[in-house]
Amino acid sequence: MIELMALIVLTVPFIGFFINSTIVRILFGSESIISGYINSFFIGISLILSLIILFNPSDVTNQINLTWLNLFDLNITFGLLIDPLTSIMLVIVSGISFLVQIYSLGYMHGDKSYTRYFAYMSLFTGSMLGLVMSRNILQLFIFWELVGVSSYLLIGFWFNRSSAVVAAKKAFIMTRFGDFGFLFSIIYLFNFNPASLDIVELYKMIAAGTVPTKIATIASLGFLFGAIGKSAQFPLHSWLPDAMEGPTSVSALIHSATMVTAGVFLIARLFPLFDHSQIMILIASIGAITSLIAATMGLTSTDIKRVLAYSTISQLGYMVMALGLGAYSAAIFHLFTHAFFKAGLFLCAGSVHHASGTFNMKFMGGLQSKMKLTYYSMLICGVSLAGIFPLSGFWSKDEIILSTFNYGGFFGYLCLLIGLIVAFMTAFYMFRTISLTFYGSFRGGGDEERKILKSNNIEVPETVQNVHLEESPKFMTYPLIVLSFFAIFIGYAANPVFFDLIFINKHAFSEFVEKSLEIYHYHGTHSFNFTIALLSTFMAIIGSLFALNTYKSKTEIYKNTLIKNINYLLDKKYFIDYLYEKVIVENIFYETICRSFAWIDNNIFDQINILLSRFSYRFGLNSLKLQNGQIHSYGLAMILSGIVSVLILILLG
Amino acid sequence: MSSSFINIFLIVIASLGTICSLIVVMQSNVFRSAIALSFNFLCIAVVYFAINAEFLGTVQILVYVGAVSVLMAFSVLLVKDLQTGSTSIIGVNFFVSGFISLLTFFVLLFVIFTTDWQTVDKLNEPKIKAALFEEYSLNENKDIMIVSKETPAMEIHSGVYNNSIIPIGTLLTTKYFISLQLIGLIIVSCVVGSIAITKNTIENDDEMEELL
Amino acid sequence: MTLTIILIFSSALFSIGIFGLLTRKNIVITLMSLELIFNSVVLALIAFSRYTIYYTLSFSELSLEGLYSIFSGHILGIFIISVAAAETALALALVLALGKFKSTIELNDLSEMKN
C-alpha cells in the first residue's frame, strides 16, 4: 500500500510534465494558465500522499526491488526505499514545490513561456522525488542527473538573456564536474561488490564489517565530490550565486530547499559509508570553510537574491559540517527547517522585486509601510534564519552547534568557534538586508536604477522593471503566510527538547530520522545544553542589533580603507571566480592545451592524410607504366613472377 | 662403357644445339636465324634417336625441320619489310631479360642437381631389366616372365626399348585414341583458320604475281 | 648422368628461348624462340619418360599394360609437337595478315594502348 502510494507520488509529477509539455502546449498555446492549475493539482496529490507516507512508516527490507539488468553475474536492481529519511524529504520536496507552484501562478503571470515553466517545474519535482526514493545508488545517479538537467533548463529559462545562458551552463558544468567523482565511486563500489550498490545491502555489509576501510574511504571521497558539486560547497560553490539569473520561484524551489540539499541528502543516505571511512574530518572542514566564506561574501552583496544565495551556501555548509561531525539527525533537522524559511525568504524577495522593480538593494527602502504582509513574512523568516529563540531556526542551528561542542577536541572547538562566528554574520547580513529593503525611505526602485545605468552607459538588464509600490497579488502572498507559519512553529513542534507535546514525543524528529540507520546501529545523543543555546542566541542577537544600528540611515559603510579593501575582496568573491574563469579555463585550458592539440591535429594528422593521398597518387601514376600494352613488359612480368614462385617453393622446402 | 659413349656423344650434340639456339636469338639477320633454328631442331632429333625414341625423332624431323622451318622461311619472304626491319637488339630489355633468363637457368640447374633422380641405371630387378632391354615372354595370365629354357621361340619378345614403336602404336590406338582424334581436329581447325585469316590479304592477281 | 646432361641441355634451350622472347622486336624471331621453348619442354619430357620409370615399375606384378605405359611420355610429346606446329602456322598467318594492314611490324609500335 505504501509502495503504491510512493509510486503514485513519483509518477504524478512526470505525468504533469508530459501533459504540460505536449497536450497543453500544443492545444492551448504557451501562455495558457491551465498548465499552472494542472501542475498544482498533481503536486498537491503528491503532497497529500507524502504526508500519508510520513505517518505510516513501513519496513525497509521488503519493499519493491525490481531487477533492472541481469547479465551473467551482473545484477542491478532498482526499487523504492521508503525509510524515515525518505518520508521527510518527500514531504519537504512536495510541500515546498506545491507552495512554489501556487506562488508561480501569480509571479509568472503574463510570461510568454508560462507552459514551459510549469512543465520544467514538474519535471524537476518528479526527479527530486525519484532521487530521494531510490534504493540503488545507480538509480539515484540517474535522478541526480535529471535534477541537474532540470536545474539547467530552469536557470536558463529566459534564454534570450545571455547572462542567464552563461549561468545555466556554469551551473551544469560545475555540478557535472562533481558528478565525475560520483560516477567514479559508483564504479569503484561496483568493482568491489556489485551488490553494494543497493543501499540496504550496503548498510548490512557495513554493519557486518565486510567493507574494508580503504575501499570505504576512496568511495566516499568520490561521493563527497559529487555532493560538493551539487550542494555548492567550497571549491565548486561559485555557480549558485550566478544561478540567481533564473526566476525567483525557481531559486526558491531549487536553490534553497531541494536541489542543493540533494548533496546533503546523499551524504546522509550514505552516512554509514562515510562514517566507516576516514574522511569525516574532511567533510566537516569543507562544511566549515564553506559556511565561513559564504557568510563573509554575503556581508557586502547588494543584490538581494545573491545575499540569499550566499546564505544558502552558508547554511548548507552548516549541514555538511554537522554530518562530518557525526550529527546525523541535527543536519537533517536543519535541512528540514531551513527549507521552509529559505523558501519563504526567496519568495519574499520575489515579492519585493514585483513591487519595486529591482533586485539591487541600493534602490530599495521604505517598503515597510507599503507591503505589510511581505515585510512581516520576511522578518519572521529572517529572524528564523538568524537563529533567535524561539523560532524554528534556533532549534536546528543550536543542535548543530551543540554537536560541535559535544565532538570535543581541538577540531570540535574550532568548528564551534566557526559556527558561532557564522551565526553572528548570518544575523548581521540578514538584518542588513531587511533594513536596506524595508526601512528608511524609498530610494527610487527600478526607475532610478534604469536612469543611473543609462547615464553611465551600462546596458540595463531585463530584471529592472517598473515600480508599482503595492502588495503582491493573493497567489503570491498565501504561500508566504504558510511558510512563515512553519518558520515559527515547526522547529519546536517537530523536535521538542524540554517535554513532550500533545502527541509528539521528546526529540521525536531526531529519533524518527535515526530509524533509517537502524541497520547500522547508530545511536546519537540527544540533549540540551543551556549554555550553548544561550551563547548562540547571544551571537545572533548581537549580530542583528549591530546590523540594525549600522544600516539605519546609510546604505554603505566605508569607514576607512581597510573596510574598503575588504569590501573589494568580498565583492570579487575572493577572486575564485576569476581563478576559475580567467586563469583555468581561458589560459590553461584554451590557450595551452587546446591550442597545442589543434597544432597537433593540423600539422601532424592532416599532414599524414596529405602524405597518404600524395603517395597513392604517385603510386598510381607509376603503376600505370606496368600495363603499357607492350608485350615485352607483360612477358617479363609473367616470367619473373613464375621464377619467383619457383624460388619461393625451393627455398621453403 | 656404352653409357660413357652415350654421355660424350650427348655432350657434343647438346653443345651444338646450344650454339645454334644462341645464333637464333642473337642474329640480326632473320634468314640466318631461321636456318639456325632448323639446325637446332635437327640436333634435338639426333638426341631423340639416341634415347630410344625413334618414332618421336622421326616426327620431329618431319614436322619441325620439314614443315615449321620452311613455314618460317616463307613467312619472312612473304611479309614486306620483315627482313629490313630494325635490327638492333641492344636496348633496356637486353640486360633485364638476360638477367631473367640466366636466373631461370640457374634455378633449373639448382633443381636438377639437388634432386635425386631415380634413374633406370640403378634398376636392380632382373625381371624389369630383362623386359626393358633384353627379352621377355608372356605366360598364360599375360604376366611378364623371364625367358627360360622352356619358352617356345615364337613367344619371345624383345625388350621394349629395342623396338619402341610397338608400345606407342598400341597406346595410341587403345588408351589415347580419343586424344588422337582431338589432335586431328585441332590441326584441321588451325589449317582452316589460317586460310580464313589470309584469304583477303591478296586483293588481285598483280599482288599474287609480285609475291611469287 | 645421361639424364642430367639432357636436362641441362633442355634448361639451356629454355633460358635461351626466354631470352629471345623478351628481347627481340621482330615478331618472327619471337615465334622462333617460342618454338625453342616448346622443343626444350618436349625434350625434357622424353628424357624423363626414358630414364625415370623406376617408380612406376617397381610394383611386384608386372603386366603388359604397365610395361607399355612407360611410353606415355612419348605420346604426350607427339601431341605437343603437333599442337605447337599448328599454332605456329596460325600465328604466321596472323603475321601475314598484320603485315598488310600495318606499316610496321615491330612489336613495340604495334600496341595501340595510350601511354
B126 and B146 in contact (C-beta within 8 Å)?
A: yes
Q: What is the spatial distance between Cα A397 and Cα A295, in angstroms, rounded to a whole number?
A: 15
Q: Which residues lie below 8 Å from residue C38, measured CB to CB, with a gap of 6+?
A: C80, C81, C84
Chain A residues in contact with C113 by the CB 8 A cut-off are: 627-629
pLDDT at A516 over 90: no
In terms of pLDDT, which residue wins out, C60 or A404? A404
Position A211 scores a pLDDT of 84
pLDDT at B205 over 70: no
Cross-chain Cβ contact A632/C107 below 8 Å? yes
Which domain, by its residues, includes C72? 2-101
Position C43 scores a pLDDT of 95
Cross-chain Cβ contact C113/A625 below 8 Å? no
For A194-215, the pLDDT digits (tens) are 878 888 888 888 888 888 888 8
Position A113 scores a pLDDT of 82
Mean pLDDT, all residues of chain A:
84
Rounded mean pLDDT of A325-353?
89
In terms of pLDDT, which residue wins out, A582 or A550? A550
Cross-chain Cβ contact B144/C67 below 8 Å? yes
Which chains contact B through at least 3 pairs of Cβ atoms less than 8 Å apart? A, C
Partner residue facing A650 (CB), from B96, B97, B110: B110
Best of B133, B143, B194, B195 to disrupt the C interface by mutation (most C CBs within 10 Å)?
A: B194
Rounded mean pLDDT of A419-435?
91
Which three three-digit cell numbers place residue A495? 523536535
pLDDT at A488 over 90: no
Chain C residues in contact with B78 by the CB 8 A cut-off are: 96, 99
Q: What is the spatial distance between Cα A505 and Cα A492, in angstroms, rounded to a whole number?
A: 11
Best of A628, A646, A647, A651 to disrupt the B interface by mutation (most B CBs within 10 Å)?
A: A646
Q: Integer distance in angstroms from the first to the last C-alpha of chain A?
A: 83
For B189-200, the pLDDT digits (tens) are 999 998 888 887
For C65-113, the pLDDT digits (tens) are 777 878 888 999 999 999 999 999 999 888 888 877 776 666 666 666 6
What are the DSSP calls for C23-51, one per residue?
Answer: H--BHHHHHHHHHHHHHHHHHHHHHHHHH
* Partners of A75 in beta bridges: A70
Closest-CA residue in chain C for B105?
C15
Which DSSP symbol is given to A325? T
In terms of pLDDT, which residue wins out, A393 or A466? A393
Minimal CA–CA distance to B104: which of A647, C46, C38?
A: A647
For strand B156-158 and strand A74-79, is the pairing parallel, antiparallel, or unpaired? unpaired
Minimal CA–CA distance to A438: which of A352, A518, A506?
A: A352
Position C41 scores a pLDDT of 95
Identify the residue whose cell numbers are 623371364: B146
Name residues 40-69 of chain B within 8 A of C (Cβ). 40-41, 44, 47-48, 51-53, 55-56, 59-60, 63-64, 67-68
Residue C109: inside a domain: no
A265 and A131 in contact (C-beta within 8 Å)?
A: yes
Partner residue facing A636 (CB), from B97, B110, B111: B97
Rounded mean pLDDT of A380-397?
87
A636 in C contact zone (CB under 8 Å): yes
Write down the pTM of the prediction: 0.66
- Hey, how many other C-beta atoms are within 10 angstroms of the C-beta on C76? 16
Closest-CA residue in chain A for C115?
A628
* CATH (residue range B1-115): 1.20.120.1200
For A4-59, the pLDDT digits (tens) are 888 888 888 898 898 888 877 777 776 777 888 888 889 999 898 888 888 877 76
Best of A623, A630, A640, A646 to disrupt the C interface by mutation (most C CBs within 10 Å)?
A: A630
pLDDT at C54 over 60: no
Residue C74: inside a domain: yes
Rounded mean pLDDT of A567-586?
72
Cross-chain Cβ contact B107/A632 below 8 Å? no
Chain B residues in contact with C4 by the CB 8 A cut-off are: 112-113, 117
Q: Where are the beta strands (DSSP E) in A353-396?
A: none
Which three three-digit cell numbers place residue A287? 562544511
Position A418 scores a pLDDT of 92
Position A3 scores a pLDDT of 78
Partner residue facing B167 (CB), from C43, C71, C83: C71
pLDDT at A98 over 80: yes
C1 in A contact zone (CB under 8 Å): no
Residue B120 pLDDT grade (very low, low, confident, very high; cuts 50, 70, 90)? low
Residue C108: inside a domain: no
Q: What is the spatial distance between Cα A443 and Cα B101, in angstroms, rounded to a whole number?
A: 110
Cross-chain Cβ contact A635/C21 below 8 Å? yes
A209 and A242 in contact (C-beta within 8 Å)?
A: no
pLDDT at A577 over 80: no
Closest-CA residue in chain B for A630?
B93
C107 in A contact zone (CB under 8 Å): yes
Q: What is the spatial distance between Cα A206 and Cα A189, in angstroms, rounded to a whole number?
A: 13
- d(CA B208, nearest CA chain C) in Å: 13
In terms of pLDDT, which residue wins out, B115 or C76? C76
Which three three-digit cell numbers place residue B149? 629354357
Residue C11 pLDDT grade (very low, low, confident, very high; cuts 50, 70, 90)? very high
B32 and B23 in contact (C-beta within 8 Å)?
A: yes
Cross-chain Cβ contact A628/C111 below 8 Å? yes
A646 in B contact zone (CB under 8 Å): yes
Rounded mean pLDDT of A103-119?
85
Cross-chain Cβ contact A636/C18 below 8 Å? no
SS3 A161: coil
- d(CA C66, nearest CA chain B) in Å: 10
Position A389 scores a pLDDT of 79
The CB-based long-range contact list for C18-21 (8 Å cut-off, 24+ gap) reads C18/A639, C18/B97, C18/B100, C18/B101, C18/B104, C19/B25, C19/B97, C19/B98, C19/B100, C19/B101, C20/B24, C20/B25, C21/A635, C21/B97
Cross-chain Cβ contact B100/A650 below 8 Å? no
Mean pLDDT, all residues of chain B:
80
For A115-144, the pLDDT digits (tens) are 888 989 999 999 999 999 888 898 899 999
Could you state, in order of their start, the residue ranges of all structural domains in chain B?
A: 1-115, 120-162, 176-212
Q: What is the spatial distance between Cα A288 and Cα A418, in angstroms, rounded to a whole number?
A: 7
Interhelix angle A261-269/A213-230, nearest 10 degrees: 160
Which DSSP symbol is given to A68? E
Which DSSP symbol is given to B79? S
Partner residue facing A643 (CB), from B93, B97, B107: B107
A640 in C contact zone (CB under 8 Å): no
In terms of pLDDT, which residue wins out, B135 or A2? A2
pLDDT at B64 over 90: yes
Partner residue facing B179 (CB), from C46, C79, C99: C79
Cross-chain Cβ contact B104/A647 below 8 Å? no
C21 in A contact zone (CB under 8 Å): yes
C18 in A contact zone (CB under 8 Å): yes
Residue C41: inside a domain: yes
Q: Is A390 exposed, middle or buried (0-12, 13-18, 19+ CB in 10 A)?
A: exposed
Q: What is the spatial distance between Cα C94 and Cα A406, in angstroms, rounded to a whole number?
A: 116
Position A321 scores a pLDDT of 92
Lowest mean pLDDT: which of A574-588, A629-643, B116-130? Answer: B116-130
pLDDT at B122 over 60: no
Chain A to chain C Cβ contacts (< 8 Å) = 23
Partner residue facing B25 (CB), from C33, C58, C68: C33
Highest mean pLDDT of the ranges A12-26, A410-424, A477-491, B131-145: A410-424
Helix, strand, coil share of chain A (percent; to 5)? 75, 5, 20
A621 in C contact zone (CB under 8 Å): no
Residue B11 identity (one-letter amino acid): I
Which DSSP symbol is given to A350? H
Chain C residues in contact with A639 by the CB 8 A cut-off are: 18, 22
What total of structural domains would you count in chain C?
1
Chain B residues in contact with C12 by the CB 8 A cut-off are: 14, 18, 21, 105
Partner residue facing A643 (CB), from B93, B97, B104: B104
Cross-chain Cβ contact A643/B110 below 8 Å? no
Q: Which residues lie below 8 Å from residue B22, measured CB to CB, with a gap of 6+?
A: C16
CATH code, C34: 1.10.287.3510
* Partners of A76 in beta bridges: A69
Peptide bond into A390 cis (omega under 30): yes
Helix (H) or strand (E) holding A420: helix A409-438
Which chains contact A through at least 3 pairs of Cβ atoms less than 8 Å apart? B, C
Q: What is the spatial distance between Cα C53 and Cα A63, in angstroms, rounded to a whole number?
A: 92
Position A284 scores a pLDDT of 92
- d(CA C115, nearest CA chain A) in Å: 6
Residue A650 pLDDT grade (very low, low, confident, very high; cuts 50, 70, 90)? confident
A644 in B contact zone (CB under 8 Å): no
Partner residue facing A646 (CB), from B93, B100, B107: B107
Q: What is the spatial distance between Cα A28 and Cα A22, in angstroms, rounded to a whole number?
A: 10
Position A232 scores a pLDDT of 87
B148 in C contact zone (CB under 8 Å): no
Position B149 scores a pLDDT of 63
Q: What is the spatial distance between Cα A527 and Cα A304, in angstroms, rounded to a whole number?
A: 37
For B1-49, the pLDDT digits (tens) are 567 888 999 999 999 999 999 999 988 888 888 999 999 999 999 999 9
As a whole-number percent, the residues of chain A with pLDDT over 70 amount to 92
Which three three-digit cell numbers place residue C92? 604466321
Angle at C63 between CA C61 and CA C65, to 5 degrees: 135
Q: What is the spatial distance between Cα A65 and Cα A9, in angstroms, rounded to a whole number?
A: 17
SS3 C7: helix
